[in-house]
């Protein structure tokens, strides 16, 4: 461990947590609060998106992009946004709650297979608990994710039987896959993925509200 008790990002902001957050007691305690005590408001649509390196999540370039897409399709009262990944499973309105704005970690740069497997198992467990807690909270669910976060989401949905509109589609990920890139599946900010996300949100919106007519 370095002598200093924090790391800084490009803007000079200090973060005291920079090891894998899913091992930390602070994140486990926060998860227990969300599962055992926090009241998640009912909404028709749940939108699951990955956590971001920049904190708070809503200030990250990727989340600003995703939010713009969501705003172009859904009204605020129609959906609930949920952040998931190395942070656990976090209702977006809790993004400033400790420790969710106080860590700096990127799982994608991890080369340790044991750490990556541990993340998968821990995150699947947290998703399963959230799915159980919110089984009657939402009418429909959509997740926008790739990489290890997507693998955890797929596994949790399989185990729990939770129906999830998963984007981008597997064929699109296969199409964009580039083995020569550090992140072969690319970025969720890529236009092809974004176009599918927008189209998927429209399908979900129409499925919920056209079926209500």
- pLDDT of 181 reads 78
Number of separate domains in the chain:
1
- pLDDT of 184 reads 83
Q: Which helix (H) or strand (E) holds 63?
A: helix 61-71
Mention every residue, 6+ apart, whose C-beta is less than 8 A from residue 52: 60, 62, 63
Q: Which helix (H) or strand (E) holds 112?
A: none
- Give domain status of residue 45, yes or no: yes
User: Which structural domain range is residue 172 located in?
Assistant: 7-210
- Give domain status of residue 193, yes or no: yes
Instruction: Kindly list the distances between the CA atom of residue 70 and the CA atoms of 92, 169, 179, 207, in Å, as whole numbers in the listed order.
Output: 14, 18, 30, 16
Q: At 177, list the tokens.
A: 């896959």
* Cα–Cα distance measured from residue 166 to residue 154, given in angstroms and rounded to the nearest whole number: 8
- Give domain status of residue 2, yes or no: no
* Cα–Cα distance measured from residue 164 to residue 158, given in angstroms and rounded to the nearest whole number: 10
- Give domain status of residue 107, yes or no: yes
DSSP, collapsed to helix, strand or coil, labels residue 168 as: coil
Residue 40, judged by CB atoms within 10 A of its CB (0-12, 13-18, 19+), counts as: middle
* Cα–Cα distance measured from residue 205 to residue 201, given in angstroms and rounded to the nearest whole number: 6
* Cα–Cα distance measured from residue 21 to residue 123, given in angstroms and rounded to the nearest whole number: 11
How crowded is the C-beta side of 112, counted as CA atoms within 13 Å?
8
- pLDDT of 183 reads 79
- Give domain status of residue 1, yes or no: no
Mention every residue, 6+ apart, whose C-beta is less than 8 A from residue 139: 44, 45, 208
- Give domain status of residue 20, yes or no: yes
Query: At 195, which CATH number?
Result: 3.40.50.10630
* Cα–Cα distance measured from residue 130 to residue 90, given in angstroms and rounded to the nearest whole number: 9
- Give domain status of residue 167, yes or no: yes
- Give domain status of residue 104, yes or no: yes
Mean pLDDT per block of 10 residues along the chain (213 residues) reads 52 66 95 98 98 94 98 98 97 96 88 94 98 98 97 98 98 89 87 98 96 60
- How many angstroms separate the most distant Cα atoms in the chain? 62
């Amino acid at each position: 461990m370095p002598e200093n008790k924090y790391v800084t990002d490009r803007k000079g902001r200090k973060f005291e947590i920079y090891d894998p957050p899913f091992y930390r007691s602070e994140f486990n305690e926060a998860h227990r609060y969300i599962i055992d005590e926090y009241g998640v408001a009912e909404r028709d649509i749940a939108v699951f998106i990955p956590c971001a390196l920049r904190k708070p999540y809503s200030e990250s370039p990727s989340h600003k992009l995703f939010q713009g897409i969501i705003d172009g399709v859904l009204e605020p009262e129609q959906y609930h946004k949920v952040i998931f990944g190395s942070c656990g499973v976090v209702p977006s309105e809790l993004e400033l709650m400790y420790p969710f704005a106080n860590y700096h970690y990127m799982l994608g740069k991890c080369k340790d297979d044991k750490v990556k497997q541990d993340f998968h198992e821990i995150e699947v467990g947290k998703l399963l608990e959230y799915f159980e807690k919110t089984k009657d909270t939402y009418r429909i669910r959509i997740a926008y994710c790739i990489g290890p976060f997507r693998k955890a989401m797929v596994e949790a949905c399989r185990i729990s039987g939770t129906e999830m509109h998963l984007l981008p589609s597997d064929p699109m990920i296969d199409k964009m896959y580039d083995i020569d890139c550090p992140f072969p599946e690319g970025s969720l900010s890529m236009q092809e993925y974004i176009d599918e996300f927008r189209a998927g949100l429209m399908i979900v919106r129409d499925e919920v509200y056209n079926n209500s007519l």
